[in-house]
Amino acid sequence: MSATGIERIAVRVILLTLRAPFTTSFGTYETLTRPFVVVETRDGLRGVGEVPTLLDPAYKAEVDTPAVLTSLREFILPSVARNQREHGPIEDIAALRASYGWIKGAVFAKCGVEAALWDVLAQRAGQPLWQLWGGERRTFPVGVSIGGKTFDQVLALADHAVGLGYQRLKVKIWPGFDVEVARALRERFPDVLLQVDANSAYSDETWTRLRELDDLELLLIEQPLFDDDIVSHSEISRELRTPICLDESIHSLRDAQAAATLWQRNDALDRLIINIKPPRVSGFAEAIAIARFCHERGIRTWIGGMLDSAWGKAMNLNFNGLCEIDLPGDHFSPGGAYFVEDVAETPLTTTNGTYELGGGISAGVNIDWPRFERMGEIALCETLSR
Ligand code: OSB
Ligand code: MG
């Protein structure tokens, strides 16, 4: 590969407006301001990485836009620049990760830069991301995540999704809005893959209510307890037949290994599922390592979303090309598009709830550059000297 390296890294913060409010146990979102990292190389390529931030750190630490911008501005971008100055052009993912490897945390911010470089590398190779990541051109089922505030809203969204052919529904729950909702969905859709996500809304005391979910043939119960507590999840897992899925608690391969050790002690690896969100584990390289590890150990995985734009979702869908991924991932947006206006030229469509990977270069969709530039301003820009 020609030694050219990175010329410039810009971060554009764009405003995304949801078509419908999305409610979880930690709040309701209607708009999102989101950093997109744009990496430009000296040989004239331009790659984009979405950082799927939320408005605040209610889901977990460092996922809000101000925190991500601070990490990028103060530490990550200067570190990449310094590293390239001192050690020569950054040409691959290993070198990029090494340049900011000393920084603890900041997983979302790191993933934005990494994703942008993956886009560059895919363009340079003339390959789809699924191929670059060692996957296959798969066709696979995907599901929708339902964030309704009321019983009626949830049922309406579920009816719409099942009507479009989706075979997997994930519904947000919280204390007082849980067993009845799940039971109603199960009765209405006896054959659909059904899962619930509590986003850490239960305590050591209140979780016992979730025992009642055990009769509903749910695929999984996602992150019922504290966001940073793997141990407590492994303990309640001994008392539930339904598998526990970890989302918030997993930031790295090491976290996945820790979870495996705990569930293994209970001889229950078939009741541990991991929601791999590439931004939550600092990027696609770490996500590949987690997918392989889990596959070897018999821990099922799937690719979760973060209300991503069509660009971020397209990257995640490419990641589903990895044969190690077992369960349907999130395909936002019954109907085509989550947002009133999106950054990609075309929406990501499904047929009967399945998504078919194409042969298109990189993510397989294009950024609509004029629209992208109209939707937000450049917030940071680091020009790298030679
Ligand atoms: O816990 O999976 C989650 C959205 C924002 C924050 C956290 C979560 C979610 C989702 C969205 O469930 C799923 C999607 O993007 O399709
Ligand atoms: Mg979740």
- Give which of 48, 50, 20, 16 is closest to 33, Cα–Cα: 16
- What pLDDT shows up at residue 1? 46
pLDDT for residue 251 is more than 50: yes
Mutate to test the pocket of ligand 1, among 223, 307, 316 (most ligand atoms within 8 A of CB): 307
* 224-239 residue pLDDT tens: 999 999 999 999 999 9
- How many CB atoms are closer than 10 A to CB 208? 12
> Percentage of the chain surpassing pLDDT 70?
98
* pLDDT (mean) for 245-263: 98
As given in the structure block, the two tokens for residue 293 are 């590890």
> Which residue from 19, 22, 23, 24 has its CB within 8 A of the most atoms of ligand 1, so it is best to mutate?
24
Angle of helix 253-265 relative to helix 230-237, nearest 10 degrees, comes to 30
Amino acid code (one letter) for 54: L
Measured in angstroms, how far is the CA atom of residue 42 from the centroid of ligand 1?
36
Per-residue pLDDT tens digits for 163-191: 999 999 999 999 999 999 999 999 999 99
What pLDDT score does 302 carry? 98
Residues 310, 350: Cα–Cα separation, whole Å: 13
Any idea which ligand is nearest the CA of 331? 1
pLDDT tens-digit map of 297-348: 999 999 999 999 999 999 999 999 999 999 999 987 654 468 999 999 988 9
CA of 247 to the centre of ligand 1 (A): 10
**Average pLDDT, whole number, for the chain?**
95
Judged by its nearest atom, the ligand closest to the C-alpha of residue 27 is 1
Atom of ligand 1 nearest to the CA of 197: 1
Average pLDDT (138-156) is 94
Active-site positions read 172, 277
d(CA 279, CA 62): 11
Which phi and psi (to 5°) does residue 346 adopt? -135, 150
Whether residue 386 is predicted with pLDDT greater than 80 in this model: the reply is no
Decide: pTM greater than 0.85.
Answer: yes
Residue 189: what pLDDT? 97
Closest CA to 217 of 241, 251, 235, 233: 241
3-state secondary structure of 376: strand
Mean pLDDT of 69-89: 97
- N-terminal to C-terminal alpha carbon distance within the chain: 18
Contacts by 224-229, CB closer than 8 A, 24 or more apart: 224/198, 224/200, 225/200, 226/200, 227/59, 227/60, 227/200
Q: What pLDDT is attached to residue 385?
A: 81
Q: Residue 335: its pLDDT value, please? A: 47
Give the number of the atom of ligand 1 that is nearest the alpha carbon of residue 170: 12
pLDDT in tens, 92-127: 999 999 999 999 999 999 999 999 999 999 999 999
- Strands, E assignment, 230-320: 244-246, 272-276, 300-303
246 CA from centroid of ligand 2 (Å): 8
Supply the pLDDT for residue 3. Answer: 57
Is 50 exceeded by the pLDDT of residue 249?
yes
How far is the CA of 172 from the CAs of 33, 101, 146, 183, 299, in angstroms? 22, 34, 6, 13, 23
- Taking residues 54-71, report their average pLDDT: 97
pLDDT value of position 337: 63
Mean pLDDT of 7-14: 98
Question: What is the CB < 6 Å shell around ligand 1?
Answer: 59, 145, 197, 199, 247, 304-308, 330, 332
